[in-house]
Amino acid sequence: MDVEKIRQDFPVLQKKFGGKPLIYFDNACQSLRPRQVIDEINRYYNEFPACGGRSMHKLGKRVTEEMIIARAAVAKFFGAKKPEEIVFTRNTTEAINLVANSLGFKEGDVVLTTDKEHNSNLIPWQMLANSKGIKRVITKSGKDNTFSMENFQKAMSKNVKLVSMVHTSNLDGTTIPAKEIIKIAHENGALVLLDAAQSAPHKDLNAKKLDVDFFAASGHKMLGPSGMGILYGKYNLLENMTPFITGGDTVIDTTYTSAKFEKPPAKFEAGLQDYAGMMGFAAAVQYLNNVGIENIERHEIELNKKLTEGIINLPGLSIIGPQDASLRGGITSFNINGMDPHEIAMIMDQAANIAIRSGAHCVHSWFNEHNMKGSARSSLYLYNTKEEVDIFIENLGKIVKFLKL
């Protein structure tokens, strides 16, 4: 994998801020975009900025054709059996809410989650518990914050309707054994929804191989545009689900008192869609295909091992989750005694243009449970380099040295 060649595709990495280049280690929040994705977005606005699925003129037909091409590309990337199993959404959050509000939950239905869920996979179930009386069961992680199969099997029962779990945690980078979990869930008659926002950009996520019922992902974390995501769902399940958001393009015909709905995915894609976003997402998965997901994952772990070795013995520093970097992908969440995580992030940004995340990372529930304010978080991707990691280690070391811990 030629990282230097890859970096040339990202315009922002060619810029300097205050005379220094950008070191972008905030990829778990949002990735940068290559010019191939930017060009594809612009192609829509420059060449055929019209409505798809409606108008019969040349521009309208072209948009419809490009939507079909984009959906097919995304479906192929994720191993869907057919393009119609891909529903375009704004992001992972909307995709999870779609399942929560369309699957027909009723009082007493059980939804099983982990103790490390992003708010996107926590709050929808809290809302259903309040509005419809569903029951929520949370399976606890092991001592090192990795998934506990023992705890999961104890929590699993024939009463569970849906197992909804984060595939790769944005908190500490650990990944659950999805295939084994799905097998056990299915044996108990439960469906499985994976929050794949953090796994889709970094790991091989194949719907057919996993036999997963649903998963949600966001384009903005995998080189694609903001405001663009997907819900994958097995077609027979999508067919039987009630639309969540309704209106234009979801129906074949209406009267003043009734509506005849389209088939999936159209019945879930209400209103005028983000056509440029669809095209940009398709360009993003093509870019990832060209580089190779396995190459990306290997590169991230190599960098994270180097980063971890460089900071793990710094006085007063603690890493959240397993200390083995290979179990955390490209993520390292950490705290330094006596420092607010936001202070760490601001100093790294001001001193060396190192962009990291700080705070609760939308996993407030876990931090509250552990009586922690949050953490600083470094997250790596395909365009990051060993030299950038060295600069990160050097500057973090200076902070610790200044504190005299």
Q: Which residues are catalytic?
A: 362
| Upstream peptide bond of 201 is cis (omega within 30 degrees of 0) | no
288, 9 contact by CB (below 8 A): no
Report the C-alpha gap between 161 and 135 in whole angstroms.
10
Return the structure tokens found at 25: 């280690």
206, 77 contact by CB (below 8 A): no
Q: Which are the contacts of 245, defined by CB distance < 8 A and separation ≥ 6?
A: 98, 268, 270, 271
Report the C-alpha gap between 58 and 55 in whole angstroms.
8
Return the structure tokens found at 264: 């999936």
> 3-class SS at 152?
helix
Report the C-alpha gap between 365 and 258 in whole angstroms.
42
168, 202 contact by CB (below 8 A): yes
Residue 401 CB: number of other CB atoms within 10 A?
Answer: 11
Report the C-alpha gap between 5 and 209 in whole angstroms.
32
What's the Cα-to-Cα distance from 78 to each of 111, 220, 231, 299, 356, rounded to whole Å? 25, 16, 11, 21, 29
Phi, psi of 62 (to 5 degrees): -65, -40
Residue that has been written with the tokens 């995340």 in this structure? 357
Report the C-alpha gap between 133 and 121 in whole angstroms.
17
Encode 273-293: b = buried (16+ Cβ within 10 Å), e = exposed. bbbbbbbbbbbbbbbbeebeb
Return the structure tokens found at 123: 């709050």
